[in-house]
């Protein structure tokens, strides 16, 4: 199996129809596939339980996304034989502040006055998007220089990073989860920082909406905490562990991408193993000094476009994790100290 499989976040396009699920207490759930970007799919969920009509995530807001969302609502209305529109939503819950999950809010806000919720630590992504982009872009330029990416290529990567987020119109968020006691009626949230700073999973009866925290076919993308506080592999692995303890009696896990998960604990263990293997592989590679760009290439091979950035971030998150724990040293410390900001860092495994 190629490693690039873990980097790419493309969704298989075979399931482009709305699918329906039910919780143990009879909550009705519609899984709505949205083409967030060309050939890149994400799911929003519509939940109908008691007096609640809740939309979980909204897709990207690009291209066919909003039409897919509208069609999904219509398909659910027909299946459930109820009038259902954006008007009748009672709440909108966002699992995490990534554009493929919240970008559709620009469209949804125009059609619905339903209160929008997100965790405190991702709130800024939705309300002060430009500021977040500027901050991350600055840190990313530094990360890419340290990683050994040539300056012109690094500039292009930062532009690609910003490009997909620029169309989003920042707007209101009405409540945050910690302030709401990590609860909304029958919905309970658990904060699982890592893939994003304010990522939450949402439990309803025996169903878990897990955003991108646990996915069935890929290990969710990791970036270094150096880019955004409260992300990074340390937080992510801790969050996987806390989810194991919290999400007992979950029968069905519905993610933001990929197929539903029927054995959550088993899948969590697999993802933990993927990261452990990758950490071990990096320790072996760093027998000789290498930059993060070189490690990324060794792990993921030749990748293109946005995947170049994803691969570098993934490699960077693992190197950061090992370095934080004192398992790596900077092999070119003299050059690094005297060479200014543009000297790539060469890491090497510390022998004990
Ligand atoms: Zn995400
Ligand atoms: Zn996603």
Starting from the CA of residue 195, give the closest ligand: 1
What pLDDT score was predicted for residue 27? 98
For residue 99, the CA-to-ligand 2 centroid distance in Å is 8
What pLDDT score was predicted for residue 336? 87
Alpha-carbon gap, residue 68 to 44, rounded angstroms: 10
What pLDDT score was predicted for residue 333? 93
What pLDDT score was predicted for residue 264? 98
Starting from the CA of residue 9, give the closest ligand: 2
Ordered domains of the chain (ranges, CATH): 4-135+163-277 (3.60.15.10)
Q: Low-confidence residues of the chain, pLDDT below 50? A: 1-9, 11
What pLDDT score was predicted for residue 308? 96
For residue 98, the CA-to-ligand 1 centroid distance in Å is 5
For residue 343, the CA-to-ligand 1 centroid distance in Å is 31
What pLDDT score was predicted for residue 8? 42
For residue 42, the CA-to-ligand 1 centroid distance in Å is 10
Starting from the CA of residue 58, give the closest ligand: 2
For residue 129, the CA-to-ligand 2 centroid distance in Å is 17
For residue 257, the CA-to-ligand 2 centroid distance in Å is 6
For residue 132, the CA-to-ligand 1 centroid distance in Å is 15
What pLDDT score was predicted for residue 14? 53
For residue 196, the CA-to-ligand 1 centroid distance in Å is 7
For residue 291, the CA-to-ligand 2 centroid distance in Å is 28
What pLDDT score was predicted for residue 114? 98
For residue 290, the CA-to-ligand 2 centroid distance in Å is 30
For residue 100, the CA-to-ligand 2 centroid distance in Å is 5
For residue 340, the CA-to-ligand 1 centroid distance in Å is 34
What pLDDT score was predicted for residue 341? 63
């Amino acid at each position: 199996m190629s490693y690039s499989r873990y980097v790419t976040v493309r969704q298989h396009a075979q399931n482009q129809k709305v699918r329906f699920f039910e919780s143990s207490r009879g909550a009705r759930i519609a899984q709505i596939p949205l083409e967030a970007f060309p050939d890149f799919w994400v799911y929003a969920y519509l939940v109908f339980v008691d007096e609640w009509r809740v939309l979980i995530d909204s897709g990207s807001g690009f291209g066919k996304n909003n039409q897919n969302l509208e069609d999904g609502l219509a398909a659910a209305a027909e299946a459930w034989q109820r009038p259902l529109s954006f008007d009748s939503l009672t709440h909108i819950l966002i699992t995490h502040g990534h554009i493929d999950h919240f970008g559709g809010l620009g469209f949804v806000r125009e059609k619905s006055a339903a209160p929008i919720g997100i965790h405190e630590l991702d709130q800024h992504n939705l309300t002060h998007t430009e500021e977040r982009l500027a901050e991350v872009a600055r840190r990313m330029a530094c990360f890419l220089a340290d990683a050994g990416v040539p300056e012109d290529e690094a500039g292009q990567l930062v532009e690609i990073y910003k490009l997909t987020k620029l169309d989003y119109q920042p707007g209101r968020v009405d409540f945050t989860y910690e302030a709401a006691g990590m609860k909304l009626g029958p919905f309970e949230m658990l904060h699982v920082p890592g893939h994003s700073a304010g990522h939450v999973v949402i439990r309803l009866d025996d169903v878990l909406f897990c955003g991108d925290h646990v996915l069935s076919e890929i290990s969710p993308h990791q970036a270094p905490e150096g880019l955004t506080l409260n992300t990074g592999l340390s937080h992510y692995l801790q969050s996987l562990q806390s989810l194991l303890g919290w999400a007992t009696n979950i029968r069905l896990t519905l993610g933001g991408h990929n197929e539903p998960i029927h054995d959550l604990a088993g899948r969590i263990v697999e993802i933990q193993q993927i990261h452990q293997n990758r950490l071990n592989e990096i320790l072996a590679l760093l027998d000789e000094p290498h930059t993060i760009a070189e490690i990324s290439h060794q792990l993921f091979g030749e990748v293109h476009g946005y995947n170049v950035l994803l691969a570098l971030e993934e490699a960077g998150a693992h190197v950061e994790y090992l370095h934080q724990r004192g398992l790596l040293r900077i092999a070119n410390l003299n050059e690094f100290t005297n060479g200014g900001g543009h000297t790539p860092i060469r890491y090497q495994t510390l022998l004990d």
